[in-house]
Structures are given as structure tokens and as C-alpha cells.
Amino acid sequence: KAISLNPGKPIAYYNKGNSLYHLGRHDEPVEYYNKALSLKPDFTSAFINMGSSFDELKRYEEAIECYNQVISLKPEAAIAADAYVNKASSLFDLQKYDEAIECCEKATSLNSGDSLAYYTKGTSLQGLKRYEEAIECFGQAISLRSDDADSYCNKGICFEKLQRYQEAIVCFDQTLSLN
């Protein structure tokens, strides 16, 4: 109804896209984010959310294009950091681990308090079997967000790969206590 009352309002299209996304209808929001962007071409949140829709659809290259659009708009640091982390996640899904790590490093240079950037860098390092470095990244993520069960679990997996089983058990116990 908001769209029919205000067809020129990009926020109405954006919000409808968000609602569809949250309903798990990931193919439908793209149309509404595109309409919002046709009215407001620098609408960074619409690009980020459209990228998230593409990620859910496993259309990673298109997601990366959305995140690159955000970055090219030179938004405030926190938004750019989010775009780099999301791009890193898409690159990870494409098994482009080195590129994902670069994006995470750009994200943390813009926002050193972004636990997801450290987590994503850790998973990318894990993909490259660089377990010691991954452990450090998961540790940084945990220091920023102590309730991050995924970081504890992945840190435990890295310890396990290095045959450091006692340390792995501590991480898995922490994971279990958080879940």
C-alpha cells in the first residue's frame, strides 16, 4: 500500500524488498531493490541487501557486483566495511580465499571492531589450511564478541587440524555452552 501511495519513494521499495527477504523469498526482493535504486542510485543499503539476496540465491558474482557498487560510492567507513565483509563472504563461497582475505583486511582497516571481518578472514585462512593464522583471527573475533559460537567452533577445528586436541576441546566446550 505504501508503494501505491508513494510510487516515487525509494524507501517503500527498499522496505518491501526487506520484508520479502525476511520471508525467505530471496528471488523477489531484487526487483524492489532495483526500483529503489532507479529512484536513488546512491542507496547503499539497497545495494547491500540486494547483494545479500543474490548470496542467498548462490549468485555470488552478482552479489559481488552489488558490494563493489557500494564501495565505489565511497560511503562512510562502517558501510564500506560491511560491503567489504559481505564481498569477502561471497568470495569465500567461490573459494577465492586470497581475495576474501584482502577484503577482510580492508574491512578491518575501516572498522577494527568488526568481528565478522575477523571471522570471515579466519574461515578463508582455514580454506587455505593456514590454521595458525586462522586461530588468531577467530581469537580476534571472540575478543570482540565473546558469544560467537561459530568462531569458537572454527577455532576448535583449526586446533584439531593441528593435532592440538586439548585446546580444541576447550573451544568445543565453549561452543556447546553458547548453543
CB 65 within 8 A of CB 46: no
> Any residues with CB less than 8 A from the CB of 142 and at least 6 apart, and which?
115, 148, 151, 152, 155
The three grid cell numbers given for residue 131, joined into one nine-digit string: 590454521
pLDDT digits (tens, 9 = 90+) for 25-70: 999 999 999 999 999 999 999 999 999 999 999 999 999 999 999 9
Its pTM stands at 0.91
Find where cell 508503494 sits. 3
Q: 50 and 33 in contact (C-beta within 8 Å)? A: yes
Q: Reply yes or no on whether the pLDDT at 80 is more than 60.
A: yes
